[in-house]
Structure 1
Amino acid sequence: MKFYIASSFANKEVVRLCARRLIVNGFTQTYDWTKNERPTAIEQLSQIGQKEVREVMAADFFIMSLPARKGSHVELGIALASGKRVYMYSADEDIYHSETTATFYHLPEVQKLVGAFDCFLERLIFHEETNEGGAF
């Protein structure tokens, strides 16, 4: 099973930790954007954007770790539109506050977990390994 993780550059270490745990459990990361530097030219943005679209599409499931910036939200839209399984992690309850949430966070296709990151990873791995398909 292949996965893609979206988040902000500020969450690089969380993304790397998540990827390592999934890889150790036999999953494959489609693209590790945390190795990139922040782009400084429009051409770089275009190349990165094209790659990220391809890699989101290549994934079997999509993970979004909040907080996330606008690029991650575009990737979320791509994942939802292409029927990927979508998991969303938030350390706090902001995901449920109208001032800090987004409409698409609350679609039935989005499996959300608020709280401890280790708990999120354990549930995600279990859910994917068992193909439980039910509530996350």
Structure 2
Amino acid sequence: MKFYIASGLENKEIVQIVRDELIEAGHIHTYDWTQNNRATTKAELQVIGEAERKAVSDSDVILILLPGGKGTHTELGMAIALGKKIHLYSKEKIQPTTASSFYYVDNVERFAGNLKLFIDEIIQLYS
């Protein structure tokens, strides 16, 4: 399974944990944005944006780790539009009153709670 992880920069360490576990289980990570510094120029934004767009397109599965910002939600929208299988993770229960309506479209599976259980579920689903 080829996967991409979308999340906010503040979740970099959590993204790396998920990435490492999935790679260890034999899955292919399409792009590791955690190796980047925050982009500060148009040229940097373009390079990163194109790499992330390609990574979403090339992936079988998109993992969304909340909280996320503009980029995370843009990647979520791209994944929905491309018909990708999406798994949305939140440490806390997702509240419909504050959630995006796109969290509830057909190809989005939601998981709230323990990160390790989420990782184990993904590995089990795609092994």
**TM-score, structure 2 length as denominator?**
0.97
- 2:86 alignment partner in structure 1: 86
Aligned position for 1:75: 75
CA distance in 2 between partners of 1:15 and 1:2 (Å): 15
**1:120 counterpart residue number:** 118
**Is the aligned partner of 1:98 residue 2:97?**
yes
Alpha-carbon distance, 1:109 to partner: 1.0
Q: Which amino acid aligns with 2:45?
A: L
CA distance in structure 1 between the aligned counterparts of 2:66 and 2:125, rounded to whole angstroms: 20
1:65 aligned to 2:70? Answer: no
Partners of 2:106 and 2:48 lie apart in 1 by 29
Gaps of 5+ in 2: none
Give every structure 1 segment of 4 or more consecutive aligned residues whose post-TM-superposition deviation is greater than 3 Å.
none
Aligned-partner Cα distance in 1 for 2:109–2:96: 17
1:36 aligns to 2:36 (yes or no): yes
Aligned AA (1:28):
I
Aligned mates of 1:60, 1:82 — CA distance in 2? 10
**RCO greater where, 1 or 2, for CA within 8 Å and sep 6 or more?**
2
C-alpha distance after superposition, 1:50-82 (max 9, x if no partner): 111011100110000000001010101111111
Q: Deviations over 1:72-130 (max 9, x none)?
A: 1010111111111100100002x22413x10100112101110000110111111112x
Distance, in Å, in 2 between the alignment partners of 1:127 and 1:107 is 20
Q: Quote the residue 1:23 is aligned against.
A: 23
Cα distance in 1 for residues equivalent to 2:14 and 2:96: 23
SS for the counterpart of 2:67 is coil
